[in-house]
């Protein structure tokens, strides 16, 4: 699987060279989206990713910096589809799964796109929204994604669903973990046996706190990418990187927009 970071920034004001959280996975000729921060579609399209190969979209939680690019992504999929060869077997009857913790958010996005595309309900793309829970939420053609709720948006009340999740993603004998946004670094504990690549957010926690926790907890991983970077990291990325490496060594790096990983 090939991972491309489209957005490595937390929900700050616009930062040079940075966009809000999003990355894609290319696997078996299909494209998968993890979160959809602003600019994700623009970046992916100009990088040459085949947007019409999209198979599924996964939203970790419905905060604006993780979903603000989703209406635009759907809009561009509709636009590209309308211009494609209508006899294409790739597009006919195409289904895109959308995994999102709050279906009302998806309903609002669909309403926006119906205003833009009057024929939205009559095209060749069917969107299948799912409000998911803990456990394996996707397992197809060798790609498996397991979700685990975290405390970033607090505990549900009155039987409401959990709204914020982390992911463990596995394919071809490789594994990486994406924290999403967390209530605390310990939220990702149950997703660990070991992994090749770990993305941990630093929008709400200091880099050295994250690294110290992982070391003290004895977590096993080959690389640690600090992602969802907040103002403290972006103000001094080299300084923050050094703090992390003082604890965990050179397996630590600061994620940047445009990074690509092959696992």
- pLDDT at residue 92 in the model: 54
Work out the mean pLDDT of the chain and round it to a whole number.
Answer: 92
Show me where the domains of the chain are located. 2-262
Give the model's pLDDT for residue 193.
72
- Quote the CA–CA distance of 115 and 119 in Å, as a whole number: 9
Low-confidence ranges of the chain (pLDDT < 70): 84-93, 119-123
Q: What was the pLDDT predicted at 89?
A: 44
Host H or E run for residue 54 = strand 54-58
Tell me the pLDDT tens digit for each residue of 138-174: 999 999 999 999 999 999 999 899 999 999 999 999 9
Which residues are CB-contacts of 189 (< 8 A; sequence separation ≥ 6)? Answer: 217
Q: Which CATH architecture has domain 2-262?
A: 4-Layer Sandwich (3.60)
What pLDDT score does 120 carry? 66
Cβ count near 11 (within 10 Å): 17
Q: Report the DSSP pairing between strands 22-27 and 2-7.
A: antiparallel
Q: What is the pLDDT of residue 116?
A: 81
**CA nearest 54: which of 68, 38, 39, 40?**
40
């Amino acid at each position: 699987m090939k991972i491309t970071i489209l957005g490595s920034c937390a929900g700050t004001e616009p930062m040079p060279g940075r966009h809000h959280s999003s990355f894609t996975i290319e696997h078996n000729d299909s494209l998968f989206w993890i979160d959809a921060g602003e600019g994700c579609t623009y970046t992916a399209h100009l990088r040459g990713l085949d947007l019409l190969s999209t198979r599924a979209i996964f939203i970790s939680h419905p905060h604006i910096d993780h979903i603000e690019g989703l209406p635009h992504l759907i809009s561009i999929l509709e636009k590209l589809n309308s211009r494609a060869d209508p006899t294409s077997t790739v597009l006919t009857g195409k289904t895109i799964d959308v995994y999102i913790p709050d279906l009302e958010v998806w309903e609002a996005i669909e309403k926006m796109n119906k205003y833009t595309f009057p024929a939205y309900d009559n095209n060749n793309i069917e969107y299948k929204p799912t409000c998911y829970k803990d456990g394996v939420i996707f397992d197809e053609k060798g790609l498996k994604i397991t979700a685990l709720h975290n405390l970033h948006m607090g505990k549900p009340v009155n039987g409401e669903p959990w709204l914020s999740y982390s992911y463990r993603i596995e394919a071809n004998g490789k594994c990486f973990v994406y924290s999403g946004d967390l209530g605390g670094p310990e939220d990702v504990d149950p997703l660990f046996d070991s992994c090749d690549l770990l993305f941990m957010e630093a929008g709400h926690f200091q880099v050295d706190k994250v690294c110290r926790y992982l070391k003290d907890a004895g977590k096993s991983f080959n690389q640690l990418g600090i992602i969802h970077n907040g103002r403290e990291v972006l103000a001094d990325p080299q300084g923050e990187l050094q703090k992390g490496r003082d604890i965990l060594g050179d397996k630590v790096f600061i994620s940047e927009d445009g990074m690509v990983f092959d696992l």
